[in-house]
């Protein structure tokens, strides 16, 4: 190798090294320009982590790409909206990682690292939507419900549609239909049963935006007659 070739190789190596350092400094993530979801709502103590950067306060309309993370603190809430209008609601003290898989069909992935999320996933045609954890994979094509766990034992409650639930330890799979609750354990166990009315109500509240509340007001008309007014709202 002559001195000219050696100098060129050295220059190329320096450029590659500089690009690598810049990627780390900026918080590298796969496909950083592809926005998968937006943060549509934050109730205090919601944080985001873009790529490998440090955690920072999350705000409304923040964009999320593959590799980005969102977490909620105590009494906090975050609402994520994907480009197909699917909604994922992070409940308090929850953490998720956004991902994608372009192998074959485009797949949107939400990895639950802890806590619980409510979901309202629009019908998927040429795409797929998956919830994952170290233990389980829930493949969704259009449904509502609640996914919780993320640290060994996972629970899936389906209020609408059908979800395929797979245990990654035992490789077993079951379909969990509307009205049922599925359990996937780190010991490889996988089962389902009809959900109780309370479990279904909690899952529906998680999927649609909060616990229903009723405010009872006592009103009087111009003639002094008493009337009771009931107002239902969601927090």
- What structural domains does the chain harbor? 37-216 (2.60.120.1440)
pLDDT for the residue 58: 96
Task: Give every residue of the chain whose pLDDT is below 50, as ranges.
Answer: 5, 11-31, 104, 212-218, 230-235
Q: What is the pLDDT of residue 118?
A: 97
DSSP state letters, the chain: --HHHHHHHHHHHHHHHHHHHHHHHHT--SSTT---EEEEEEESSEEEE-TTS--EE--TT-EE-TT-EEEE-TT-EEEEEETT--EEEE-TT-EEEEEEE-SSSEEEEEEEEEEEEEEEEPPPSSEEEEEE-SSEEEEESSEEEEEEE-SS-EEEEEEESEEEEEETTT--EEEEETTEEEEE-TTS-EEEEEPPHHHHHHHHHHHHTS-EEEEEEEEE-TT--EEEEEEEEE-
pLDDT for the residue 215: 39
Q: What is the pTM of this model?
A: 0.74
> What pLDDT is recorded for position 69?
97
Q: What is the pLDDT of residue 152?
A: 81
């Amino acid at each position: 190798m002559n001195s000219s070739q050696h100098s060129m190789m050295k220059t190329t190596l320096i450029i590659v090294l500089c690009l690598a350092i810049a990627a780390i400094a900026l918080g590298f993530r796969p496909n950083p320009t592809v926005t998968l979801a937006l943060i549509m709502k934050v109730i205090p103590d919601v944080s985001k982590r873009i790529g490998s950067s440090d955690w920072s306060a999350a705000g409304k309309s923040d964009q999320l790409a593959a590799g980005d993370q969102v977490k909620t603190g105590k009494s906090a809430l975050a609402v994520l909206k994907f480009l197909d209008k699917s909604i994922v609601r992070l409940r308090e003290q929850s953490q998720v990682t956004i991902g994608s898989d372009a192998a074959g069909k485009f797949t949107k992935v939400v990895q639950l690292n802890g806590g619980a999320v409510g979901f309202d996933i629009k019908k998927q045609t040429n795409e797929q939507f998956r919830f994952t954890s170290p233990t389980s994979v829930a493949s969704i094509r259009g449904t509502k419900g609640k996914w919780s766990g993320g640290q060994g034992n996972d629970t899936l409650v389906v209020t609408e549609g059908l979800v395929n639930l797979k245990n990654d330890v035992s490789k077993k799979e079951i379909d969990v239909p509307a009205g049922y609750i599925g359990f996937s354990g780190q010991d490889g166990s996988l089962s389902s049963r009809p959900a109780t009315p309370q479990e279904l109500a909690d899952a529906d509240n998680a999927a649609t935006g909060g616990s229903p509340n009723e405010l009872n007001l006592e009103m009087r008309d111009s003639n002094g007659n008493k009337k009771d007014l009931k107002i239902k709202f969601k927090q």
